[in-house]
Amino acid sequence: MDHIAITKAPSTRIHEVDWKNLGFGVYFSDHIFVADYRDGAWEDLRIIPYGPMSVEPSMCTIHYGQSIFEGLKAFRTKSGGVNIFRPYKNAKRLNYSAEMLCIPAFDETLLVAAIQQLVALDQEWIPRERGHSLYIRPVVFGTDNFLGVRASQGYRLIVMTSPVASYYAEGINPVRILVDTTHVRAVRGGLGSAKTAANYAASIHAGKTAKEAGFAQVLFLDGVSREIVEEVGTMNIMFLIDGELITPALSQGSILAGVTRDSALALVRSWGITVTERPLSIDEVVAAHTAGTLQEVFGTGTAAVISPVGELVYNGESMPIHGGTIGPLAQRLYDTITGIQFGELEDPYEWNVHVQLESGVVA
Ligand code: COI
């Protein structure tokens, strides 16, 4: 493995954490992993204390958003071990996003090894409460100080970690979602399938408007016909209609290939339930609701895990789902995915990558 130089923080900030009110993305662990891309190569791999970073006012990314990121999680198991859930899948997706944004790839095995080392070093920051986890956020951005619009020549990769509770205040309780007929997250041929800042910037106005109206988030429709269901922005979306699990297909190129989406689909298929990935229109959802065959709706995401939707509102019409309570499929998925993550259930697909804690160093 390429050498990672380690500079330890002189003291820890862990006493600042309010473990009973973790929220999401509020606290940041003592160390970060950093690598810089210069003259065509990633170099200067290091773990250093978390802290302010200086950038010049002309740094291209703060103007043009050439940045990509990932989200994955580490879990403390009852037996004292630590699992990272499907990190190779995130490393691969980071490189997919990198290609979309003209950012140089980073070795996937090396990234996972660096994450293991970082998590081992800051292992005390992994929450002890069941359901809470250490969120791992890799981010890569252009570093050139230049105002022309082109791909940067220099880049920085940072991995930071953050102890977190549920993403939504509702936790595993159902959320209210507004079907957005005004804003669009991404269009075919755009950046929708990349995990890049632009997609989240595009969701901020919609999310704010929805929150002010009492919704947790919006459900985006496609940007052309405004008829096809896409994603929530912070999670993918799934519909159980008449015993069949239907979720938007990735082939449109405008939604994110979620790791939890993939995990949920694999599990549901293994349970003998029909899974269909295809374009799904909002009219079809409304028709299923009217016919009484819309059994469950839920979101999937690393931050959100499984988030049941208790109500969808479209064009002013309310569609209560499963009586506003979590349905059995969403509950089974939540229990199974978190059971695997926390090492309580068998891991048939070998999704967990274990972190070696004794030495704090992974070979
Ligand atoms: C995630 O689920 O990891 C996300 O990136 C969603 C959001 C926190 C940006």
Looking from the CA of 86 toward its CB, the CA atoms found within 13 Å total 25
- Percent of the chain surpassing pLDDT 70: 98
Separation between Cα atoms, residue 339 and residue 297, nearest integer Å: 21
- DSSP class of residue 125? G
- Say what angle helices 87-100 and 108-121 make with each other, to 10 degrees: 130
Six token digits for residue 26? 């509020």
Q: How far is the CA of 291 from the centre of ligand 1 (A)?
A: 34
Separation between Cα atoms, residue 278 and residue 266, nearest integer Å: 16
- Atom 3 (ligand 1): residue with closest C-alpha? 71
Residue 195 CA, closest ligand 1 atom number: 5
> For 267-288, how does the pLDDT look when each residue is reduced to its tens digit (9 = 90+)?
999 999 999 999 999 999 999 9
Residue in 302, 305, 337, 341 to alter for ligand 1 test, most ligand atoms within 8 A of Cβ: 302
| Mean per-residue pLDDT, 358-363 | 47
Separation between Cα atoms, residue 357 and residue 363, nearest integer Å: 12
- Atom 7 (ligand 1): residue with closest C-alpha? 234
Q: Does residue 198 surpass a pLDDT of 80?
A: yes
Angle, vertex CA 276, rays to CA 271 and CA 280, nearest 5: 140
- DSSP class of residue 302? T
pLDDT of residue 169: 81
- Which CATH number is associated with domain 5-165? 3.30.470.10
Residue 148 CA, distance from chain mean position: 31
Q: Which residues pair with 290 in a beta bridge?
A: none
3-state class (DSSP) for residue 297: strand
Query: What are the φ and ψ backbone dihedral angles of 192, each rounded to 5 degrees?
Result: -55, -30
Q: How many residues does the chain have?
A: 363
Six token digits for residue 140? 């890569």
Query: Which residues sit with their C-beta closer than 6 Å to ligand 1?
Result: 71, 200, 234, 301-303
Neighbours of 343 (CB within 10 A): 19
Domains in the chain: boundaries: 5-165, 175-341
Q: How far is the CA of 332 from the centre of ligand 1 (A)?
A: 22
Q: How far is the CA of 214 from the centre of ligand 1 (A)?
A: 21
Alpha-carbon distance values, 358 to 15, 115, 151, 197, 355 (Å): 23, 16, 42, 36, 9
pLDDT of residue 358: 67
Looking from the CA of 241 toward its CB, the CA atoms found within 13 Å total 18
Q: Same topology for domains 5-165 and 175-341, yes or no?
A: no
Q: Does residue 289 surpass a pLDDT of 70?
A: yes
- Residue 212 · residue 242 · CB < 8 Å: no
> For 308-345, how does the pLDDT look when each residue is reduced to its tens digit (9 = 90+)?
999 999 999 999 999 999 999 999 999 999 999 999 99
* Strand pairing class (175-180; 305-314): parallel
Query: What are the φ and ψ backbone dihedral angles of 308, each rounded to 5 degrees?
Result: -65, 145
pLDDT of residue 356: 87
Q: Does residue 185 surpass a pLDDT of 80?
A: yes
pLDDT of residue 363: 34
pLDDT of residue 321: 97
Q: How far is the CA of 359 from the centre of ligand 1 (A)?
A: 31
Residue 200 CA, closest ligand 1 atom number: 9
| Mean per-residue pLDDT, 69-86 | 96
| Mean per-residue pLDDT, 163-184 | 92
Residue 302 CA, closest ligand 1 atom number: 2
Whose CA is closest to 4, among 113, 139, 123?
113
> For 209-263, how does the pLDDT look when each residue is reduced to its tens digit (9 = 90+)?
999 999 999 999 999 999 999 999 899 999 999 999 999 999 889 999 999 999 9
Angle, vertex CA 276, rays to CA 271 and CA 282, nearest 5: 125
pLDDT of residue 144: 98
Q: How far is the CA of 234 from the centre of ligand 1 (A)?
A: 5
pLDDT of residue 172: 87
Q: Does residue 360 surpass a pLDDT of 50?
A: no
- Residue holding tokens 């003592």? 30
Q: How far is the CA of 293 from the centre of ligand 1 (A)?
A: 30
Residue 137 CA, closest ligand 1 atom number: 3
What is the full DSSP assignment across 158-209?
Answer: EEEEEEE--SSTTTTS-EEEEEESS-----TTSSTTS-BHHHHHHHHHHHHH
- Atom 5 (ligand 1): residue with closest C-alpha? 71
Residue in 68, 70, 164, 167 to alter for ligand 1 test, most ligand atoms within 8 A of Cβ: 167
- pTM of the prediction? 0.95
Helices assigned H by DSSP within 32-190: 60-64, 87-100, 108-121
> For 19-63, how does the pLDDT look when each residue is reduced to its tens digit (9 = 90+)?
999 999 999 999 999 999 999 999 999 999 999 999 999 999 999
3-state class (DSSP) for residue 102: coil
- DSSP class of residue 109? H
| Mean per-residue pLDDT, 152-177 | 93
Q: How far is the CA of 167 from the centre of ligand 1 (A)?
A: 8
- Which CATH number is associated with domain 175-341? 3.20.10.10
